[in-house]
Amino acid sequence: MDPRPSTILRIAQPLRSLVQRFTYLGLVVAAFGLMLIGKIDTVIVDRVRAEVINGTAPILDALSRPIQTVHELIDTASSAIDMRAENERLREENVRLLQWQMVARKLQADNTALSKLLQVVPETPATYMSARVIASARGTYGNSMVLNAGSAHGVRKGQAVLGEAGFIGRIADVSSRASRVLLLTDVSSRIPVVLEASRARALLVGGNVNRPRLVFVTPGTRISPSERIVTSGDGNAFPAGLPVGVVASVTDNSIEVQLFADYDRLEYVRIGDFGLDGLVDRHAAGDAR
Amino acid sequence: MNVAFWQRIDQSARGVTPFLLSVGLVLLSVVPLPMPGFAPIVPAFALMSIYHWAIYRPNLMPLSAVFVLGLLYDLLTGAPVGLFTLVFLTVYGVALTQRRFIAGKSFFIYWFGFAIIALGAAIESWALASLWHLTLLDTQAVLFQYLVALGIFPLVAWIFLKWQQTLLIER
């Protein structure tokens, strides 16, 4: 071999490791800086996040499909096995629901009559859009889901997202073809709620664990387990009355809530447009979306 | 367009596979799995990949790639941006310093090395996230996430070792 490259190498090698060491330090500092920026200015981070989600959405969409298909197959097979028992159960449930339907009809008639009598301002009728969950990250470091609907489909930041059984979260980032839902269990989620029976107001606060907690409960309220919790509509960000969950446990220092929504089984969700532009949108007024 | 040219293309195409595999693992972490109770303990699969390539082929997993992977992970999972970027960089740096004790030794040592480094990563990520949110986050899920990662590691590592032996033969 030519002796020259080896001489160059002898000088270049320590230089290279020095440069590498500096790059390493630089990147560590950059990561720290990103964490700080994320703490100070969430708008920039949200926008970058939205763009990355937009870019990866087609891949995530493709990846989530086979798993869902397998899941559906298993579901079909297991429902075929206990079809008889299921049929029996549904029959009973149907009888019960028919009674409820009568009650609901009567209540609705009463409600309409009373509203007319009192000249209540009618609420804007809601429109819903269904979207598929294409990614989901839940745990100690964050709780969110990515949906395959974005601003191109009419999704806007701050809209309420509902699962089969109840409220699951709000739209946090929107890109053109995908959006991210901040779940109620996320540590940065704060939702004004009301206890259905006592009408006491509270704030539902996530903690990156399965059960969010209630804080700032109206003083002097007696809270009993299994009391239903619905959104209060305060702040005009979400409509009142979306089902959230039930009180699971009451201890001296925390009130835990069991959510109606089963995050493990969510495949499709509904994004509700209630014609509201409350706190969330006003807060994000600087955001171009 | 001679043979050497195509060989170079072929070599560099093989060279980016570790990075692409790692991107795949990042995406795998956020694929919704309909398994009750599993979602909070899905491990950061990409951590295994970074550990593996830092030990065996650091030249195929440059620092910038580690940074990008961490950033992608943070952005997709909704974790504070920069958190796992920092954790991935730490794992990479620590694994690099320990590679002569681990590379080429028995699989058990390789696994044991991961166990220690991943434990450090779990503690680091928990501490950073707690600091970022200014609350003490739940430790139970972190512990189980760590244990799941330990359990899955041999499978992922085996795939990587095979990949490396068949596709990335050093000349």
A45 contacts chain B (CB < 8 A) = yes
B51 Cβ neighbours under 8 A, 6+ residues apart: B91, B95, B113, B114, B117, B118
Q: Say how far residue B73 (Cα) sits from the centre of its chain.
A: 11
Residues A27 and A69 occupy one common structural domain: no
The helix or strand, by DSSP H or E, that contains position A181, with its residue range, turns out to be: strand A179-183
Residues A98 and A136 occupy one common structural domain: no
A13 Cβ neighbours under 8 A, 6+ residues apart: none
User: Mind telling me how many Å the CA of B109 is from chain A's nearest CA?
Assistant: 26
B86 contacts chain A (CB < 8 A) = yes
**Which sequence spans correspond to the domains of chain B?**
11-29+40-167
Q: Helices in chain A by DSSP H: which ranges?
A: 3-40, 42-81, 83-118, 279-283
B131 contacts chain A (CB < 8 A) = no
Three-state SS at B15: helix
The answer to whether position A45 is within a domain reads no
Q: How far is CA A168 from CA A7, A128, A165, A264, A268, in A?
A: 64, 14, 9, 12, 12
Please report, as a single letter, which amino acid is at residue B19. F
- A137 interaction partners in chain B (CB closer than 8 Å): 29-30, 39, 42, 76-79
The answer to whether position A288 is within a domain reads no
Residues A74 and A157 occupy one common structural domain: no
- A25 interaction partners in chain B (CB closer than 8 Å): none
In contact, A34 and B85? CB cutoff 8 Å: yes
Q: Which is nearest to A167 in space by CA: A150, A184, A152?
A: A184
Residues A273 and A132 occupy one common structural domain: yes
> What does the angle CA B10 – CA B13 – CA B19 come to, to the nearest 5 degrees?
155
- B136 interaction partners in chain A (CB closer than 8 Å): none
Test mutation, A141, A183, A268, chain B, max B CBs within 10 A: A141
Q: How many separate domains does chain A show?
A: 3
Test mutation, B67, B139, B144, chain A, max A CBs within 10 A: B67
| B window 104-123, beta carbon within 8 A of A | none
ipTM: 0.86
Residues A163 and A74 occupy one common structural domain: no
pLDDT digits (tens, 9 = 90+) for B25-66: 999 889 888 777 788 888 889 999 999 999 988 888 889 999
User: Mind telling me how many Å the CA of A51 is from chain B's nearest CA?
Assistant: 10
Residues A139 and A63 occupy one common structural domain: no
- Position A82 scores a pLDDT of 81
Beta partners for A229?
A195, A245
pLDDT digits (tens, 9 = 90+) for B92-122: 999 998 888 888 888 899 999 999 999 999 9
Residues A175 and A257 occupy one common structural domain: yes
B64 contacts chain A (CB < 8 A) = yes
The number of C-beta contacts closer than 8 angstroms across A and B is 157
Phi, psi angles (nearest 5°) of residue A160: -80, 140
> pTM to 2 decimals?
0.85
Residues A62 and A155 occupy one common structural domain: no
Rounded to a whole number of angstroms, the CA Rg of chain A reads 25
Please report, for the domain that includes residue A241, its CATH number: 2.40.10.340
Token pair, residue A83, equals 């079809």
Residues A267 and A224 occupy one common structural domain: yes
- Position A230 scores a pLDDT of 93
DSSP state for residue B48 in the 8-state scheme:
H
**For residues A212 and A234, what is the distance between their CA atoms, to the nearest angstrom?**
19
Token pair, residue A187, equals 């540590």
**For residues B52 and B61, what is the distance between their CA atoms, to the nearest angstrom?**
10
For chain A, 289 residues long, give each residue's pLDDT as a single digit of tens.
Answer: 444 556 666 667 777 777 888 888 999 999 999 999 988 888 888 889 999 999 999 999 888 888 778 878 888 888 788 888 888 999 999 999 999 999 999 999 999 899 888 888 877 778 899 999 999 998 889 899 999 999 999 898 889 999 988 899 999 989 999 999 999 999 989 999 999 888 899 999 999 888 999 999 888 888 888 899 999 888 888 888 899 999 999 888 889 999 998 888 888 999 988 877 655 544 444 444 3
B72 contacts chain A (CB < 8 A) = yes
Is the Cβ pair B31, A52 closer than 8 Å? Answer: no
- Position A5 scores a pLDDT of 55
Residues A34 and A133 occupy one common structural domain: no
The answer to whether position A48 is within a domain reads no
> What is the signed CA dihedral for A134, B124, B19, A143, rounded to 10 degrees?
10
Residues A98 and A19 occupy one common structural domain: no
Is the Cβ pair A48, B40 closer than 8 Å? Answer: no
Three-state SS at A129: strand
- Position A8 scores a pLDDT of 65
In CATH, what is the architecture of B11-29+40-167?
Orthogonal Bundle (1.10)
Its domain, for residue A166, covers 127-283
Q: Which is nearest to A184 in space by CA: A197, A174, A193?
A: A193
Of the residues A99, A118, A137, the one at which a domain ends: A118
Q: Say how far residue A88 (Cα) sits from the centre of its chain.
A: 35
pLDDT digits (tens, 9 = 90+) for B118-142: 999 999 999 999 999 988 888 998 9
The answer to whether position A271 is within a domain reads yes
Residues A257 and A167 occupy one common structural domain: yes
pLDDT at residue B5 above 90? no
A144 contacts chain B (CB < 8 A) = yes
